[in-house]
Chains A and B, each alone.
Chain A
Amino acid sequence: MSRSILVAIKRVIDFSVHVRVKPDGSGVVTDGVKMSINPFDEIALEEALRIRERGLADEIIAVSVGPADVQQQLRTALAMGADRAVLVQVAEPLEPLVIARLLLALVQRHQPLLVLLGKQAIDDDNTQTGQMLAALWDRPQATFASKLELDGTRARVTREIDAGLETLEVDLPAVITTDLRLNEPRYVRLPEIMKARRKPLDTLTPAELGVADTAAVMRVLEYRTPPTRARGVRVGSAAELVAALEQRGVL
Chain B
Amino acid sequence: MSAILVVAEHAGGRLNPSTAKCVSCAVAIAAACAPQAAPIDVAVLGAEVAPVTAAAAALGGVRRVLSLERAENAAALAAVWAPQIAALAPEYTHVLGPSTTFGKDLMPRVAALLGVGQVSDLMAVQTPHRFQRPIYASNVLVSVELPAQQRVVATVRTASFQPAPAAGPAPIEARQLQVPLPGHTRFVARSPVNAGRPDLQTAARVVSGGRALASSDNFQLLYRLADALGAAVGASRAAVDAGYVPNDLQVGQTGKIIAPELYIALGISGAIQHLTGIKDARTIVAINKDADAPIFEVADIGLVGDLFQVVPELEQLIRARRASAHS
By a beta-carbon cutoff of 8 Å, the part of chain A in contact with chain B is: 13, 15, 18-19, 21, 28, 95-97, 100, 119-120, 122-136, 138-144, 146, 156, 159-171, 174, 179-181, 217-226, 229-230, 232-242, 244-245, 248, 250-251
Contacts and interface: CB of A to CB of B under 8 A. Distances in A.
Contacts of A143: 78, 101, 104-105
Contacts of A164: 190-194, 246-248
Contact of A218 (B139, B144, B254): B144
Given A120-B254, A179-B254, A146 B247 contact: yes
Contacts of A100: 112
Contact of B190 (A95, A122, A166, A218): A166
A146 B297 CA distance: 32
Interface string B249-283: 00001101000011000000000110000010011
B190 A238 contact: no
Given A233-B302, A245-B283, A250 B111 contact: no
Given A143-B78, A161-B248, A226-B134, 19 more contacts: A19-B139, A122-B137, A130-B108, A163-B11, A163-B190, A167-B190, A168-B188, A170-B184, A218-B117, A220-B144, A221-B145, A224-B140, A225-B140, A229-B284, A232-B302, A241-B285, A242-B321, A245-B283, A250-B205
A241 B193 CA distance: 33
A234 to B, nearest CB: 5
B191 A234 contact: no
30 contacts: A18-B139, A95-B117, A125-B137, A130-B108, A133-B112, A134-B109, A135-B82, A140-B182, A143-B78, A144-B104, A159-B101, A160-B248, A161-B102, A162-B256, A163-B190, A164-B190, A168-B188, A169-B188, A174-B184, A180-B237, A219-B144, A220-B144, A221-B130, A221-B142, A232-B296, A233-B301, A235-B301, A237-B310, A241-B301, A251-B318
Q: Tell me the interface secondary structure of chain B in the complex.
A: mixed
Contacts of A168: 77, 185-188
B241 interface: yes
Contacts of B208: none
A217 B137 contact: no
B138 A226 contact: yes
A202 to B, nearest CB: 26
B93 interface: no
Contacts of B106: 131
A130 B298 CA distance: 34
Which of B142, B262, B279 neighbours the largest number of chain A CB atoms within 10 Å of its CB?
A: B142
Contacts of B184: 139-140, 170-171, 174
B150 interface: yes
Given A238-B310, A241-B301, A245-B283, A131 B188 contact: no
Interface stretch (B24-32, B38-46, B60-68, B118-126): B118-126
B112 A162 contact: no
Contact of A223 (B113, B141, B205): B141
B240 interface: yes
Contact of B112 (A97, A222, A235, A239): A97
A127 B108 contact: yes
A225 B100 CA distance: 24
Interface in B201-236: 201, 205
Contact of B304 (A13, A217, A234): A234
B299 interface: yes
B108 A248 contact: no
B300 A233 contact: yes
B189 interface: yes
B309 to A, nearest CB: 9
Contacts of B144: 218-221
A144 B117 contact: no
Nearest to A160: B247
B80 to A, nearest CB: 10
Given A128-B118, A139-B184, A181 B241 contact: yes
Which of B141, B287, B301 neighbours the largest number of chain A CB atoms within 10 Å of its CB?
A: B301
Given A123-B136, A127-B108, A241 B314 contact: yes
A181 B186 CA distance: 23
Given A128-B108, A217-B150, A232-B302, A170 B186 contact: yes
Contacts of B113: 135
Contacts of A224: 140-142
A167 B109 contact: no
A239 B111 CA distance: 52
A15 B145 CA distance: 27
B318 A131 contact: no
